[in-house]
Amino acid sequence: MISRLLSKQLKRRLFSLDSMIEEAVGIPIPEIVSLWGWARFREIESKIVEQAVGEARDAVIDCGGGVVLSDRNIKKLKECGKVVLLTATFETLLSRLSRDRNKRPQLKEGLSWKEEHRKVLAEREDKYNAAADLVCDTTSKRPDETVHEIIENFKKHSWVEA
């Protein structure tokens, strides 16, 4: 939702990596993971990152949370623009993720849904922070407030025209 609002406010094209992956492969992400596993999904994701970066000039690229697992993905994204990390408290993230609970493939075997997400977040936290040019805590903000904060920070740093 944030990426859609941000692209609209900035009048920029939106590239949704998850949508691009599903379009390229022709099946939903849970099926990709079920058929071929996470490693193959990450290979596909990296190809789509490269494609998006090649096409995206003055655009917004909406990435899934696992994109940071590849240093090459992050390098490509940072060469093309700025990386914004949207954070929230763990409880808020769980609440938001629970809306898509049946759409998201399991990342870790043998853990409860809550513990799986706690573990994945802990494993990725350093990579998220290292990749970020800007960190926005969205815990108590409406999407339009987050978009406003991103745009104001981009203007302040001259990443977009004021």
pLDDT computed for residue 101 by the predictor = 57
Amino acid residing at 17 = L
- Closest to 46 measured CA to CA, from 23, 80, 17, 22: 17
pLDDT computed for residue 100 by the predictor = 72
**Residue ranges covered by each domain of the chain:** 2-156
51 pLDDT above the threshold of 80: yes
pLDDT in tens, 53-67: 999 888 999 998 899
Amino acid residing at 152 = E
Q: Which CATH superfamily is domain 2-156 in?
A: P-loop containing nucleotide triphosphate hydrolases (3.40.50.300)
Span 9-13, average pLDDT: 94
29 pLDDT above the threshold of 80: yes
Angle at 67 between CA 133 and CA 101, to 5 degrees: 115
Q: What is the DSSP letter of 115?
A: H
pLDDT band at 103 (very low <50, low <70, confident <90, very high): low
- Helix (H) / strand (E) containing 43: helix 29-55
Span 69-89, average pLDDT: 94
Q: Residue 63: how many CB atoms within 10 A of its CB?
A: 22
Question: Do 114 and 94 form a contact (C-beta atoms < 8 A)?
Answer: yes
pLDDT in tens, 109-137: 788 888 988 999 999 999 999 999 999 99
Q: What is the DSSP letter of 101?
A: T
**Dihedral angle, C-alpha 30, 34, 39, 42, nearest 10 °:** -20
